[in-house]
Structure 1
């Protein structure tokens, strides 16, 4: 993990690099350790999470190395939640827009005036009732970690954790992060949010794992986000990510392909088990900045099959470290290892 920390601090990481500390992904080191590609294998797909990290001038060659590695494993490479900058390195592939990531410009963020009236009233109500918000930096006490694990268990209510592209509760992972806490007037912890960042001293913050007790008062999530954004602004952060809104602004153009148009219908009309449109509408209360995220896959691959593999990957057991995969041939300068 020390090697990973040093690498991210050197090359600045990306919008998903905090998830590497969950230790559930393989690390593919390319170009003599100058480029890092994080991935998991599911069936015959090697699914890369986010953009490559490292020396940008080597990205094209690093991706070529990774594709050769996938070929050797008789698998296909899939690139998940990449930014528009990565699409230029994969021009001979198919591209599907997954959705958009909600970000907040903290330099201009404010809940004053007419626009912020509802959020301001929400915050004032919680404050008047005696609720207290605090950001606690690591190292964390065993008592706090036990409290947030209890909340996480209540929030899950027996449901299985998801993984890969989303964080899950793992004590060692949570212990690394600053934690925003919300306590009721009696001092009982009712909600928490872990805060991620791409690298040390980054000016960008990521709202990571956010959970609350089922009996928490209405508006608890609003209060958490309002408080985090205000705290981050005071701490001189410049940007805060609220995460992905899947299928947001997908399939709205006449030129879009049939799969994208189907995705738009799902976004507009499907509410169960996942309300895609509702998620964007919720995050729009805080954010007016949206960054596109893409799925990139081989020309000879089939999108429904890719989505099935992604579903399997995100929904499979995430609480254990994955099995390490073999080191690639030294002649190709491959190094493939698990985080840690």
Structure 2
């Protein structure tokens, strides 16, 4: 992605050193946020009461920390890298207290000698960040399916309808299973995930990764072949507001052409039947970024990465796949202030490409199973 920008390499070396060196903070500047697994049950209850956002389910990856703002009525999820506290998504909680929470987290960060960055914020609250002195960079767009209007009928849905009918005729089956899962089921899911990954490694922070503990927190949609073997699966995360997200998606490399199309269509039907109104397909990175002649230089640079960076990441392919289903797109932004943007971008890449290391979550799983029982 940064192959054509050689001047980034000295910055990368600087950022890498500063991101991983041991910081000796004195008592005044000590970071006091609690690790997520110490209060996960509290977080889950808070999300059930207040709803979440498009990335709140990623809290269960357990690679982030939380900050309770506005007298514990607003939840901010973040991770530290170098001198930055990178917040994932918008603050969650009482909407009237969101402005206060943004200012509070800003003051908290500065008091500890750190800089806050808000990653993947929505347009809904951009004016609040603007009022607190933040600048913006468009990151991409989230694909959203309006389940009430989605259909594969008619001429427009002919290709998708043909694929679904073909899989049905050939005795492929769809189902949604609920936790808790047996060791055998988790082992088969892991086998599919490992085959899909190949030589790649799992990512973290804003990108979901496979672990038995994480998968065990959600319903899982399955597509099986005629012999009952799992060909593809997806975890289904809810924001508790009639919206659902197709989260962790994996398939066997040898699965038939159109496998994921068929899995998605079945998920849309299942979600609609179960009272959901919208389904998120996640963000298409760099989608419609820098495609105007008046765009910022930084966004025009990312446009080049989108057009010519497919050897590193299939930006265009991901956008095209999600476009087959999406009925709307919501832009997502980076909010930053008083910092050198190239450094921030590299730090984000380091965060996302760091392998997550989930901790033991037996108590969490028991709590979640009790809630779904």
Q: Tell me the distance in 1 between the aligned counterparts of 2:294 and 2:94.
A: 35
Decide which of 123, 129, 132 is 2:170's aligned counterpart: 129
Report the structure, 1 or 2, having the larger helix content. 2
- Counterpart of 2:347 in structure 1 is 309
- Counterpart of 1:157 in structure 2 is 198
1:254 aligns to 2:268 (yes or no): no
- Counterpart of 1:318 in structure 2 is 356
Following superposition, the deviation at residue 72 of structure 1 comes to 2.5
Q: Tell me the distance in 1 between the aligned counterparts of 2:180 and 2:314.
A: 36
2:128 match: secondary structure: coil
Q: Tell me the distance in 1 between the aligned counterparts of 2:103 and 2:216.
A: 36
Following superposition, the deviation at residue 268 of structure 1 comes to 2.3
Preserved CA contact (<8 Å) 1:170 1:319? no
TM norm structure 2: 0.83
Q: Tell me the distance in 1 between the aligned counterparts of 2:308 and 2:194.
A: 31
Preserved CA contact (<8 Å) 2:61 2:356? no
Following superposition, the deviation at residue 32 of structure 1 comes to 1.4
Q: Tell me the distance in 1 between the aligned counterparts of 2:151 and 2:218.
A: 25
Query: Where in structure 2 are the equivalents of 1:1-340 lying within 5 Å?
Result: 1-91=40-130, 92-199=133-240, 202-298=241-337, 300-321=338-359
Q: Tell me the distance in 1 between the aligned counterparts of 2:272 and 2:156.
A: 18
Q: CA RMSD in A?
A: 1.4
Q: Structure 1, residues 90-146: CA drift from partner, whole Å, max 9, x if none?
A: 111110011100000001010000111000011111111111110112222222111
Q: Tell me the distance in 2 between the aligned counterparts of 1:72 and 1:24.
A: 23
Q: Which runs of 5+ in 1 are unaligned?
A: 323-340
1:87 match: secondary structure: helix
Preserved CA contact (<8 Å) 2:152 2:160? yes
Q: Tell me the distance in 1 between the aligned counterparts of 2:175 and 2:358.
A: 30
Q: Tell me the distance in 2 between the aligned counterparts of 1:213 and 1:275.
A: 18
Q: Structure 1, residues 250-274: CA drift from partner, whole Å, max 9, x if none?
A: 1122331111111122222321111
The total of aligned residue pairs comes to 319
Following superposition, the deviation at residue 190 of structure 1 comes to 1.5
Q: Tell me the distance in 1 between the aligned counterparts of 2:138 and 2:223.
A: 36
Q: Tell me the distance in 2 between the aligned counterparts of 1:17 and 1:302.
A: 28
Following superposition, the deviation at residue 321 of structure 1 comes to 4.7
Q: Structure 1, residues 178-212: CA drift from partner, whole Å, max 9, x if none?
A: 0001111111111111000113xx31110000101
- Counterpart of 1:334 in structure 2 is none
Q: Tell me the distance in 2 between the aligned counterparts of 1:111 and 1:279.
A: 20
Q: Structure 1, residues 159-196: CA drift from partner, whole Å, max 9, x if none?
A: 21001111111111111100001111111111111000
TM norm structure 1: 0.91
Flag as ranges the 4+ runs of structure 1 deviating above 3 A. Answer: none
Preserved CA contact (<8 Å) 1:105 1:240? yes
